[in-house]
A and B are shown apart, each in its own frame.
Chain A
Amino acid sequence: MTPVLEARDITRDYHVPGSLFKKSRTVHAVKGVSFSVGEGKTLAIVGESGCGKSTLARIVTMIDPATSGDLLIDGRRIDIATEPLTADMRSKVQIVFQNPYGSLNPRRKIGEILTEPLIINAKMRADEREARAMAMLKKVGLEEKHYGRYPHMFSGGQRQRVAIARALMLNPRLLVLDEPVSALDLSVQAQVLNLLADLQSEFQLTYVFISHDLSVVRHIADDVMVMYFGEAVEYGSRDAVFNDPQHSYTRTLFAATPRVDIEAIRARLARKSAAASGASAPAAL
Chain B
Amino acid sequence: MSLLQIENLVVEFQTASGPFRAVDGVSLKVDPGEVLAIVGESGSGKSVAMLAAMGLLPWTAKVTADRLEFDGRDMLAMSDRDRRRVVGKEIAMIFQEPIASLNPCFTVGFQIEEVLRIHTGLDRRARRIRALELFEQVGIPAAEERLGHYPHQMSGGQCQRVMIACALACNPKLLIADEPTTALDVTIQKQILDLLVELQAEHGMGLIMITHDMGVVAETADRVIVQYKGRKIEEADVLTLFENPKNAYTRALLSALPENAVGGRLPTISELLSDEQIFAGAPR
Contact = CB atoms under 8 A, between A and B. Distances in A.
B204 to A, nearest CB: 9
A49 B187 CA distance: 11
B58 to A, nearest CB: 21
B215 A259 contact: yes
Most buried by A among B185, B186, B238, B264: B186
Nearest to A264: B218
A220 B186 CA distance: 19
Nearest to A51: B185
Given A197-B265, A212-B185, A260 B257 contact: yes
Interface string A139-178: 0000000000000000010000000000000000000000
B103 interface: no
Which among B201, B216, B261 has the highest number of chain A CB atoms within 10 Å? B261
B185 A265 contact: no
Interface string A187-215: 11111011001000000000000001111
Contacts, number: 109
B86 interface: no
Contacts of B193: 258
A257 interface: yes
Contacts of A261: 218
Given A186-B253, A218-B258, A260 B268 contact: no
Interface in A77-130: none
Interface residues of A, number: 38
B256 interface: yes
Contacts of B256: 186-187, 189-190
A253 B252 CA distance: 27
A252 B191 CA distance: 12
Given A259-B259, A260-B214, A265 B239 contact: yes
A256 B186 contact: yes
B203 interface: no
A185 B42 contact: yes
A49 B268 contact: no
B213 interface: yes
Contacts of A186: 41, 212, 214, 253, 256-257
A239 interface: no
B181 to A, nearest CB: 9
A216 interface: yes
Contact of B268 (A48, A190, A212, A257): A190
Contacts of A220: 258
Summarize A's interface: helix, strand, loop or mixed. helix
A219 B254 contact: no
Contacts of B260: 260
Nearest to B191: A256
Interface string B232-271: 0000001100110000000011101111110011111110
Given A186-B253, A212-B185, A194 B219 contact: no
A131 interface: no
Nearest to B213: A258
Contact of A257 (B215, B222, B243): B215
B62 interface: no
Contact of B264 (A185, A197, A257): A197
A151 B201 CA distance: 45
B185 A219 contact: no
A261 B257 CA distance: 12
Nearest to A275: B201
A16 interface: no
Which of B156, B201, B257, B266 is most buried by chain A, counting CB atoms within 10 A of its CB?
A: B266
B189 interface: yes
A206 B243 CA distance: 38
A212 B239 CA distance: 27
A253 B253 CA distance: 24
Given A260-B218, A260-B257, A185 B212 contact: yes
A138 interface: no
Contacts of B214: 186, 260
Contacts of B149: none
Interface string B128-168: 00000000000000000000000000001000000000000
A222 B258 CA distance: 15
A129 B267 CA distance: 34
Given A48-B187, A185-B41, A197-B264, 11 more contacts: A186-B212, A194-B265, A214-B186, A215-B257, A215-B259, A252-B187, A258-B218, A260-B214, A262-B239, A265-B218, A265-B242
Lowest 8 CB-CB distances: which A-B pairs, in order? A258-B215, A219-B258, A256-B190, A190-B266, A187-B269, A185-B41, A48-B185, A190-B256
14 contacts: A48-B187, A49-B156, A187-B41, A193-B266, A215-B215, A257-B215, A258-B213, A258-B215, A258-B218, A260-B215, A260-B217, A260-B259, A264-B218, A268-B219
